[in-house]
């Protein structure tokens, strides 16, 4: 095959390009300019990374689209693939809803062990290749990496004889009528086959290579709507024409007008597969990690709900309308967990709470929030959430969850459910959501009972654990319950890079990804993105309400914990959501979250989708909107391949940029607002060893990378950027929460262009090819720098006027040019990604090392144990990362317990003050707030930490420490909580000042 040979050559070239970036630079820019233009950086990244992974590990490209099989009929997707730790095989699982798909997948995984497992990859590979062909042919560009087909055919010849999917002829045959519209087929991207676009079927063959097997469904396709079509079926005929894998395309191309086609399918391998699977899977051992299994709900929940039934936990959703005297016992109960109602904690006494719900408005101006009851001798809190005529009751034991925590937890839960299902009523009434909710609540309660942590142990151990742990008091919680995301402000340069990458994704300009897309209306608008590293928020472009929603969602789904505890190979989540900023998609403003009445902008009546992709310990969240200018979507919508891949590529790009490394280092060292452990307290001077370590480590890392270019570049970058890193910060803006991404860009920009020039230098040094790309790169960088400077409102004077005007004129000429250049620049990055990106991350890391550890407290030595900076207006909080894996000292645990418990109390007092401030003069006299409690802005508590009997002999004696909370009203209410050793009096205003300073980069 001619094609094959050529693509093989190309593959070689690609492979070479990995190692020798300069040559491909020249090549691509001179010969294949059109390619790089049309490709964009997306294509570049996609191809180069997949080719590299193909070359490196066979399974790379196959796993990329595995998630497509996991999409359920409602279009939802929750797919996690753990990093294989002990075993080289990677497994995957599937959400609970669609059992048959799961079984099929399971069987595939089973097959994998027996070397038949290439099948699924084969399917994927075929699809990939198809797509690539589709793409390559119309553009006619030879440069497109088409390495896949040859590889695939090799695989096929090697393995196809072994693929013996159990096929018996005696399956039942069915006729299914599918409506088909070739004009208005769903846009599946560039590589879709006819069968995929028209019928919505992913097909493959049986062992004989002719008979067509249904391998999967396209999420929003026609076929998925017919439940009688199952994966593994044999597609026998289309409109009476017998079809084979060879002739299917020609049969389908005959369909030119919208019509209904009759598909004849035959069940081949009915229940046998499933039985084998259920028998086989336990013996196969663990492929996914325990946590992932738990999240996906593949482990036994029945046992869990049995255990939960014995404990004072439960949730009920009651409808108060249409109840009759002699109705059945369970009338009015819409939802109940743990089932059944008769054994539920709340089941028999729900009447009492309903009565109270009705009764208390007679006594007090507001409905009840919570009740405290004694249940089997255990103090239990029951929290009410009323939704019109419906009522949700949640019971939690006091020893696991104090009243304050219970109310917070419930608010969190309600927020999450509303985000997922629009309203509580929708969530609980719809029978389809039932299994998902059961799973959700089982996890929720399990977490609650095992002291707020996600279980990672074996199921049986874990169940025992719950019962024992449930009888012990839990440590107090504060930060993890608040509706705010834990933000880790990165060094400024990294933050700017990150913001830029996210902005690029948000610009949503990837029409070039597939040619069929260019003429179409876009599917979604990106209304916000945010990125997490190990469960810590690194950057967010989401509105406050959305950020809170997303964060709550991630927290309740365990994604934050997953990120914190283990790296994943791949995570894809897709579902329709109802963000609070869009009023949950409700026409009537039920929740007055947004000032819709005052704002001239009306949120469009549309639909919203949440896309989360994860890899390693990073997680990228994208909130998409369908409505307004985009295509109107009807029915269940599955994930769109383009968007998912786009997001995945962005994440990969961010990882290549070295952001995770910086974040990890940042988290590990925590040089700014430095906290100390209580063991160090009596030492009057904390030694500056930590900073030395940090510097030393970075240096050794520098020298240990022997690559000439990187060390050279990073060395120069280090020396050049270091003067800038000690930047002066304007005093006026310090108390603002967030560094607007533009502040201080003068230095960032110049530092950046310096980097660019160094890379150029080294490039010309290494190979004297004057590449057009790198030539082009310098002006881009300059222009970009100036653009940033321009946004800095001319405060910068260093830019030469000619350049400024130049860039401005280009700006006004066409806004696209920016993007084009950006893209080609990105393309360049991707082409020689090894070089450029590591260079950049090196320089960013060196930036980290330059920043001196800052200390919040006054006095000679650092006396700070912990701090929390709360900003509800932005929905973020700052606090030192607590390494959960590390065994903390008991002392710190005790201190933190006191800190959090006090913070809960102080928080209530401060919120009271805020609430009071907002009241008008007249309302004050009417309000029922205790007048003595108003206007409190600071609240401090002194505790004594006495050493245990064992350790009192050590040098550290008993000491006292303060827990102080302070409220700041301007510019918007913020709260700062600190915990410090009582050796020097501290001023909270100063502490807050320094905290704001350190957070601003």
Partner 1 sequence: MVVHLMCLTTAGGLPLFTRKRGDGEPLPFSVVASLNGVHMFGKSQSVVLRSTSTQETTVVWKVWEDSVTLIVAACGASEMLLNQLLTSVFNVMVLAVGIDELCSARNAERLKRELRVCYPLLDRLLECVDVTSSDRAANCSDLLGLVEVTLCQENHLLQSLVDTWAECVDSLYGFLLIRGRVAVATSSWWQLDPEEMKLLALLVSVEGTCTACDIPVFLPCKSPAVPFRLVACGLVGGIQICALCGPSPPLTEVEHVSIQCWKGAIDVLRAAEQCFPRNFPPSIQLDNGVMGLLLVDHQAGKFLLSRNQRTDAGKKESRSLSGAHRLDVLRTFYHQVAATFMNQSSGNSEGAAAYEQPVTSPALETYWCSEYHKCHALRHGTTLLCVLYASAVPIHTMRLITQRTLKFLTGDKQLCW
Compute the least distance from the CB of residue 403 to partner 1, in Å.
8
CB-CB contact of 590 with 584 (8 Å): yes
Q: What CA–CA distances, in Å, run from 804 to 309, 380, 610, 819?
A: 70, 67, 40, 18
Identify which of 544, 531, 535, 534 has the alpha carbon closest to the alpha carbon of residue 498. Answer: 531
Q: What are phi and psi of 981, to 5 degrees?
A: -75, 140
Compute the least distance from the CB of residue 375 to partner 1, in Å.
5
Q: What does DSSP assign to residue 185? A: -
Compute the least distance from the CB of residue 449 to partner 1, in Å.
14
DSSP 767-794: S----HHHHHHHHHHHHHHHHHHHHTTT
Contacts with partner 1 by CB under 8 A: the residue count is 55
Contact window for partner 1 (CB under 8 A) among 370-378, 541-549, 745-753, 847-855:
370-378
Compute the least distance from the CB of residue 917 to partner 1, in Å.
10
Q: Which of 221, 368, 673, 875 binds partner 1 (CB under 8 A)?
A: 368
CB atoms within 10 A of CB 433: 19
Instruction: Return all residues near 458 (Cβ < 8 A) that are at least 6 apart.
Output: 290
Binding string to partner 1 for residues 729 to 748, with x set by CB under 8 A, is what?
A: --------------------
Closer residue to partner 1, CB minimum distance, 126 or 400:
400
| Interface with partner 1, residue 937, by CB under 8 A | yes
Paired sense of beta strands 618-626 and 864-871, if any? unpaired
Q: Cα separation of 276 and 438, whole Å?
A: 27
Compute the least distance from the CB of residue 120 to partner 1, in Å.
52
Q: Which of 487, 943, 968, 977 binds partner 1 (CB under 8 A)?
A: 943
Contact window for partner 1 (CB under 8 A) among 147-155, 212-220, 365-373, 448-456:
365-373
| Interface with partner 1, residue 477, by CB under 8 A | no
CB atoms within 10 A of CB 740: 13
Compute the least distance from the CB of residue 405 to partner 1, in Å.
14
* Residues 545 to 564 in contact with partner 1, rule: CB under 8 A: none
Binding string to partner 1 for residues 390 to 409, with x set by CB under 8 A, is what?
A: --------xx----------
Compute the least distance from the CB of residue 882 to partner 1, in Å.
20
**Widest Cα–Cα separation across the chain:** 92
* Residues 774 to 813 in contact with partner 1, rule: CB under 8 A: none
Identify which of 611, 601, 556, 546 has the alpha carbon closest to the alpha carbon of residue 442. Answer: 556
| Interface with partner 1, residue 158, by CB under 8 A | no
| Interface with partner 1, residue 373, by CB under 8 A | yes
Compute the least distance from the CB of residue 946 to partner 1, in Å.
7
CB-CB contact of 408 with 399 (8 Å): no
CB atoms within 10 A of CB 373: 17
| Interface with partner 1, residue 320, by CB under 8 A | no
| Interface with partner 1, residue 591, by CB under 8 A | no
Q: What does DSSP assign to residue 732? A: T
Identify which of 519, 532, 606 has the alpha carbon closest to the alpha carbon of residue 564. Answer: 532
- Residue 41 CA, chain-centre distance (Å), reads 22
In a 10 Å sphere around its CB, with 0-12 CB exposed, 13-18 middle and 19+ buried, how is residue 925 labelled?
exposed
Identify which of 94, 90, 82, 159 has the alpha carbon closest to the alpha carbon of residue 122. Answer: 159
Closer residue to partner 1, CB minimum distance, 375 or 448:
375
Q: Cα separation of 921 and 285, whole Å?
A: 68
Q: Which of 595, 600, 950, 985 binds partner 1 (CB under 8 A)?
A: 985
CB-CB contact of 201 with 195 (8 Å): yes
Closer residue to partner 1, CB minimum distance, 87 or 358:
358
Instruction: Return all residues near 515 (Cβ < 8 A) that are at least 6 apart.
Output: 135, 138, 139, 190
- Residue 604 CA, chain-centre distance (Å), reads 25
Closer residue to partner 1, CB minimum distance, 509 or 982:
982
| Interface with partner 1, residue 941, by CB under 8 A | yes
| Interface with partner 1, residue 960, by CB under 8 A | yes
| Interface with partner 1, residue 359, by CB under 8 A | yes
Q: Which of 101, 371, 423, 841 binds partner 1 (CB under 8 A)?
A: 371
Compute the least distance from the CB of residue 926 to partner 1, in Å.
11
Closer residue to partner 1, CB minimum distance, 356 or 411:
356
* Residues 29 to 58 in contact with partner 1, rule: CB under 8 A: none
CB atoms within 10 A of CB 276: 16
Q: Which of 12, 137, 364, 520 binds partner 1 (CB under 8 A)?
A: 364
Identify which of 844, 752, 568, 648 has the alpha carbon closest to the alpha carbon of residue 45. Answer: 648
Closer residue to partner 1, CB minimum distance, 166 or 370:
370
* Residues 873 to 932 in contact with partner 1, rule: CB under 8 A: 897-898, 901-902, 905, 909, 928-932
Q: Which of 360, 701, 767, 804 binds partner 1 (CB under 8 A)?
A: 360
Q: Which of 703, 740, 873, 946 binds partner 1 (CB under 8 A)?
A: 946
Instruction: Return all residues near 542 (Cβ < 8 A) that are at least 6 apart.
Output: 527, 528, 529, 530, 550, 621, 623
CB-CB contact of 551 with 537 (8 Å): yes
Compute the least distance from the CB of residue 794 to partner 1, in Å.
40
Closer residue to partner 1, CB minimum distance, 350 or 743:
350
| Interface with partner 1, residue 975, by CB under 8 A | no
Q: Which of 940, 947, 956, 993 binds partner 1 (CB under 8 A)?
A: 940
Closer residue to partner 1, CB minimum distance, 116 or 898:
898
Closer residue to partner 1, CB minimum distance, 712 or 929:
929
Q: Cα separation of 718 and 605, whole Å?
A: 50
Q: Which of 184, 208, 362, 634 binds partner 1 (CB under 8 A)?
A: 362
Compute the least distance from the CB of residue 468 to partner 1, in Å.
15
CB-CB contact of 98 with 107 (8 Å): no
Compute the least distance from the CB of residue 382 to partner 1, in Å.
9
Identify which of 318, 387, 406 has the alpha carbon closest to the alpha carbon of residue 354. Answer: 318
Contact window for partner 1 (CB under 8 A) among 34-42, 371-379, 478-486, 634-642:
371-379
Contact window for partner 1 (CB under 8 A) among 377-385, 579-587, 771-779, 791-799:
377-385
Q: What are phi and psi of 741, to 5 degrees?
A: -60, -15
Compute the least distance from the CB of residue 464 to partner 1, in Å.
21
Whether a cis peptide bond, with omega within 30° of 0, leads into 338 is: yes
Q: Cα separation of 301 and 718, whole Å?
A: 54
Q: What are phi and psi of 632, to 5 degrees?
A: -75, 130
| Interface with partner 1, residue 367, by CB under 8 A | yes
Compute the least distance from the CB of residue 930 to partner 1, in Å.
5
Sign of CA dihedral 476, 479, 484, 485: negative
| Interface with partner 1, residue 728, by CB under 8 A | no
Binding string to partner 1 for residues 434 to 473, with x set by CB under 8 A, is what?
A: ---------------------------------------x
Closer residue to partner 1, CB minimum distance, 208 or 362:
362
Q: Which of 939, 974, 981, 994 binds partner 1 (CB under 8 A)?
A: 939
Q: What does DSSP assign to residue 329? A: T
CB-CB contact of 482 with 488 (8 Å): no
Closer residue to partner 1, CB minimum distance, 138 or 327:
327
Binding site for partner 1 (CB under 8 A): 348-349, 351-352, 355-356, 359-360, 362-379, 398-399, 473, 897-898, 901-902, 905, 909, 928-944, 946, 960, 985
């Amino acid at each position: 095959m001619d094609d094959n040979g050529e693509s093989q050559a190309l593959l070689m070239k690609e492979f070479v390009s990995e190692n020798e970036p300069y040559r491909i630079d020249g090549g691509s820019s001179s010969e294949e300019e059109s390619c790089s233009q049309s490709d964009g950086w997306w294509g570049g990244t996609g191809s180069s990374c997949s080719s590299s992974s193909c070359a490196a590990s066979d399974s790379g490209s196959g796993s990329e689209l595995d998630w497509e099989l996991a999409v359920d009929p409602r279009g939802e997707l929750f797919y996690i693939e753990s990093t294989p730790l002990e075993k080289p095989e990677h497994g995957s699982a599937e959400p609970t809803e669609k059992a048959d798909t799961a079984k099929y997948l399971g069987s595939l995984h089973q097959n994998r062990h027996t070397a038949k497992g290439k099948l699924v990859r084969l399917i994927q590979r075929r699809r990939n290749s198809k797509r690539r062909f589709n793409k390559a042919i119309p553009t006619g560009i030879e440069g497109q990496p088409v390495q896949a087909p040859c590889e695939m055919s090799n695989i096929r010849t090697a393995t196809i004889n072994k693929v013996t999917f159990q096929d018996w002829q005696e399956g039942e045959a069915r006729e299914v009528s599918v409506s088909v519209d070739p004009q208005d087929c769903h846009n599946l991207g560039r590589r879709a086959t006819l069968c995929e676009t028209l019928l919505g079927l992913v097909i493959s063959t049986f062992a004989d290579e002719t008979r067509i097997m249904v391998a999967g469904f396209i999420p929003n396709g026609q076929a998925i709507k017919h439940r009688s079509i199952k994966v593994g079926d044999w597609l026998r005929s289309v409109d009476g024409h017998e079809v084979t894998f060879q002739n299917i395309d020609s049969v389908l191309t005959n369909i030119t007008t919208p019509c209904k086609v009759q598909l004849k399918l035959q069940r081949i391998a009915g229940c046998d597969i499933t039985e084998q699977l259920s028998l086989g899977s336990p013996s196969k051992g663990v492929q996914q990690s325990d946590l992932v299994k738990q999240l996906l709900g593949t482990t036994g929940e029945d046992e869990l709900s049995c255990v939960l039934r014995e404990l004072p936990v439960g949730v009920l959703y009651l409808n108060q309308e249409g109840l009759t005297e002699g109705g059945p016992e369970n009338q009015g109960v819409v939802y109940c967990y743990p089932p059944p109602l008769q054994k539920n904690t709340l089941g028999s006494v729900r009447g009492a709470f309903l009565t109270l719900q009705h009764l208390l408005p007679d006594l007090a101006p507001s409905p009840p929030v919570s009740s405290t009851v004694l249940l089997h001798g255990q103090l239990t809190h029951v929290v009410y959430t009323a939704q019109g005529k419906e009522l949700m009751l949640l019971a939690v034991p006091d020893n696991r969850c104090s009243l304050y925590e219970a109310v917070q937890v419930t608010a969190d839960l309600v927020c999450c459910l509303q985000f997922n299902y629009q309203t509580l009523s929708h969530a609980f009434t719809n029978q389809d959501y039932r299994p998902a909710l059961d799973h959700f609540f089982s996890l929720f309660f399990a977490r609650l009972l095992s002291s707020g942590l996600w279980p990672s142990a074996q199921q049986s151990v874990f169940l025992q654990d719950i019962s024992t742990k449930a009888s012990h008091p839990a440590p107090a919680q504060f930060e993890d319950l608040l509706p705010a995301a834990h933000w880790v402000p990165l060094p400024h340069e990294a933050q700017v890079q990150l913001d830029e990458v996210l902005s690029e994704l948000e610009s949503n300009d990837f029409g070039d990804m597939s040619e069929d897309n260019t003429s179409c209306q876009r599917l979604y608008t990106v209304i916000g993105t945010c990125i997490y590293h190990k469960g810590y928020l690194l950057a967010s472009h989401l509105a406050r309400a959305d950020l809170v929603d997303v964060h709550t969602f991630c927290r309740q789904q365990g994604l934050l914990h997953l990120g914190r505890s283990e790296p994943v190979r791949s995570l894809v989540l897709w579902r329709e959501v109802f963000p609070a900023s869009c009023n949950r998609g409700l026409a009537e403003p039920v929740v007055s979250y947004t000032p819709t009445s005052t704002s001239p902008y009306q949120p469009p009546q549309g639909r919203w989708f949440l896309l989360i992709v994860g890899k390693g310990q990073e997680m990228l969240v994208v909130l998409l909107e369908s409505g307004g200018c985009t295509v109107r979507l009807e029915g269940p919508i599955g994930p769109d391949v383009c968007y998912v891949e786009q997001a995945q590529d962005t994440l990969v790009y961010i990882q290549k940029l070295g952001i995770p490394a910086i974040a990890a280092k940042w988290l590990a060292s925590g040089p700014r607002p430095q906290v100390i452990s209580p063991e160090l307290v009596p030492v009057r001077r904390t030694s500056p060893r930590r900073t030395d370590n940090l510097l030393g480590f970075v240096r050794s890392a520098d020298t240990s990378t022997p690559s000439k270019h990187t060390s050279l570049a990073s060395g120069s970058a280090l020396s050049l950027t270091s003067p800038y890193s000690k930047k002066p910060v304007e005093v006026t803006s310090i108390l603002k929460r967030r560094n607007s991404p533009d502040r201080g860009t003068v230095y960032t920009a110049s530092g950046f262009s310096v980097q660019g020039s160094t890379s150029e230098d080294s490039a010309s040094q290494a190979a004297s090819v004057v590449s057009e790309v790198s030539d082009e790169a310098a002006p881009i960088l300059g222009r970009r720098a100036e653009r940033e400077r321009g946004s800095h409102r001319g405060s910068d004077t260093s830019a030469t006027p000619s350049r400024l005007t130049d860039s401005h004129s280009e700006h006004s000429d066409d806004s696209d040019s920016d993007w084009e250049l950006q893209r080609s620049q990105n393309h360049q990055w991707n082409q020689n990604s090894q070089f450029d990106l590591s260079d950049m991350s090196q320089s960013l890391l060196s930036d980290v090392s330059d920043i001196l550890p800052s200390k919040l407290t006054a006095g000679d030595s650092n006396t700070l144990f912990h701090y929390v900076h709360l900003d509800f207006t932005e929905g973020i909080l700052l606090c030192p990362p607590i390494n959960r894996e590390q065994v903390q000292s008991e002392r710190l645990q005790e201190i933190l317990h006191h800190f959090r418990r006090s913070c809960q109390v102080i928080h209530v007092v401060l919120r009271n003050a805020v609430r009071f401030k907002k009241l008008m003069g007249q309302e004050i006299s009417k309000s029922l707030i205790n007048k003595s409690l108003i206007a409190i802005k600071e609240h401090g508590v002194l505790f004594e930490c006495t050493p245990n009997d064992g350790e009192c002999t050590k040098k550290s004696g008993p000491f006292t420490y303060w827990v102080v909370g302070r409220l700041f009203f301007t510019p918007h209410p913020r709260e700062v909580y600190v915990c410090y050793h009582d050796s020097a009096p501290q001023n909270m205003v100063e502490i807050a000042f320094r905290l704001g300073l350190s957070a601003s980069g």
